[in-house]
Amino acid sequence: MPLNLYLRAMKNLREVALPELEKMMASLGEPKFRAKQIHEWVWQKHAADIQDMTNLSKSLREQLAETYFIPKLKMHHSQYSSDGTIKNRLQLHDGFYVESVLIPTEKRMTACVSSQVGCSLSCKFCATGYMDRKRNLEFDEIVDEVTLLNELSQKHYNKNLSNIVFMGMGEPLLNYKNMMKAIDIITSPNGLGMSPKRITVSTAGVAKMIKQLGDDKVRFKLALSLHAPNDHKRNEIMPINESNNLNALVEALNYFYKATENEISFEYILFKNFNDSIKDADELIKLYRRVPADLVNIIEYNPIDNARYQKPDEDVVEEFMDHLTKNRVNVRLRRSRGKDIDAACGQLANIDQESD
User: What positions carry a catalytic annotation?
Assistant: 99, 345
143: helix, strand or coil: helix
Task: Provide the phi-psi class of 49: left if phi over 0, else alpha when psi is between -120 and 50, else beta.
Answer: beta
Exposure string over 187-217, b if 16+ CB within 10 A, otherwise e = beeebbebeeebbbbbbbbbbebbbbbbeee
- How are beta strands 199-203 and 221-225 bridged, if at all? parallel
d(CA 62, CA 59): 5
State which H helix or E strand residue 2 sits in: none
Q: Residue 102 to residues 240, 279, 302, 344: CA-CA distances in angstroms?
A: 28, 36, 18, 11
d(CA 227, CA 211): 21
Cβ(197)–Cβ(219) under 8 Å?
yes
Which residues is 110 bridged to in the sheet?
103, 163
